[in-house]
Amino acid sequence: MKIEEIVDEVEELVISDDDTSEPFLKEKHLDLEGKPIKKRAPKKKESEETKQRRDGVESRFRNDRSSDLNQDKIEEVNEDDKDKSGATEDLKEESEPEEDDLTQKFAPEEEKKLVDEAEEFKARGNKWFKKGDNDSLKRAINRYDSALRTCPVYLHQTRAIYWSNKAACYMKLGDDHKAVESCNQALGLDPDYVKALNRRAAANEKIGKWSNLQSASDDYNKLVELYGKDGNYIERDKARKNGIALESRIKTAATAETQEMLGKLKDIGNSFLGKFGMNTDMFNMAPDGKGGYSMNFGGNQPPKE
């Protein structure tokens, strides 16, 4: 049996279902919102600081055992699954950085260490994602959360990938609303990130409400533009076809939701008008040709000649 397989089996037994990324928070350089935490001055020698960092890394590795750091990036995978216990609580939404955060950056050497560490978390997330079962997907989401907590807040494109990977997980879980939310976070950081646009469009299509379908159509239109600029005409044509296919669904959903809304308004109106011996059938409602409705009171109609 290969060493990697032995490590995987041990990891399956060691990490419990309530495994979260919280133990890592005390050792991170960022808070939950991804803002850099001001570092304290080193106490004594550099050797002690190095030892503390090594001890911290070893502690994180004991809580998150995985030796395979060379898995394919999940950003190249189109979908994901869900854990048997359900996904853990998401990170807070990406907040607008304060003015100090925009200028406060880590030194190049420290930034590289943080990015490398975040990429290791992502690699472990990719490994769990490939397993595909619910429990593994819970762990995958946790690893991407750890990557987000570790990665400097100003590295927008890198953080967008981690959010998009979470969206891919939620799509296979069938939690399309959370998939959309994660894509919103990714696109807030990198508006032209085509994988996040594709995933959000697909998730909104599955939700199927008028506003979601309209949002999916908007995303496909943007993809047509982006793919066209890149000269990727195959994907451009695919996005255009997806957008065209939505047109009839958008009209159908809009009509259905309008009728549903009118039905609810009619029930409310009848409960009120009934006190006066009236009902909504005494009012005539018809489309006004401008996307709305006009209403006339039938009792006031002039007599026919």
Tokens representing 32 are 């939950």
Average pLDDT, the chain: 73
- Mean pLDDT check: name the lowest of 14-18, 40-44, 120-124: 14-18
CA-CA distance, 119 to 121, in Å (whole number)? 5
Q: Is the pLDDT of residue 37 over 80?
A: no
Query: Domain 1-40+63-203: which topology?
Result: 1.25.40
Cβ count near 4 (within 10 Å): 12
- pLDDT reported for residue 135: 85
- Mean pLDDT check: name the lowest of 36-40, 140-144, 218-222: 36-40
The position carrying tokens 């600029």 is 229
Answer yes or no: are the C-beta atoms of 87 and 175 closer than 8 Å: yes
- pLDDT reported for residue 24: 40
- pLDDT reported for residue 21: 39
pLDDT in tens, 287-300: 666 656 665 655 54
Cα-only R_g, the chain: 26
Answer yes or no: are the C-beta atoms of 148 and 163 closer than 8 Å: yes
Quick one: CA torsion of 55, 61, 63, 67, rounded to 10 degrees? -160
- pLDDT reported for residue 102: 46
Answer yes or no: are the C-beta atoms of 205 and 213 closer than 8 Å: yes
pLDDT in tens, 198-256: 999 999 999 999 999 999 999 999 999 999 999 999 999 999 999 999 999 998 877 87
Domain ranges of the chain: 1-40+63-203
**What percentage of the chain reaches a pLDDT higher than 70?**
51
CA-CA distance, 284 to 42, in Å (whole number)? 78
Q: Is the pLDDT of residue 173 over 60?
A: yes
Answer yes or no: are the C-beta atoms of 29 and 114 closer than 8 Å: yes
Q: Is 296 helix (H, G, I), strand (E, B) or coil?
A: strand
Q: Residue 130: which pLDDT band, with cuts at 50, 70 and 90?
A: very high
Q: Residue 233 contacts by C-beta under 8 Å, 6 or more apart in sequence? A: 227
What is the DSSP code (8-state) at residue 232?
A: -
Give this prediction's pTM.
Answer: 0.61
Over range 169-182, report the average pLDDT. 93
Q: Is the pLDDT of residue 139 over 80?
A: yes
pLDDT in tens, 74-111: 554 444 433 333 444 556 566 555 544 444 799 999 99
Over range 154-158, report the average pLDDT. 96
Over range 2-18, report the average pLDDT. 46
Q: Is 36 helix (H, G, I), strand (E, B) or coil?
A: strand
- pLDDT reported for residue 204: 96
- Mean pLDDT check: name the lowest of 2-11, 43-52, 135-144, 168-177: 2-11
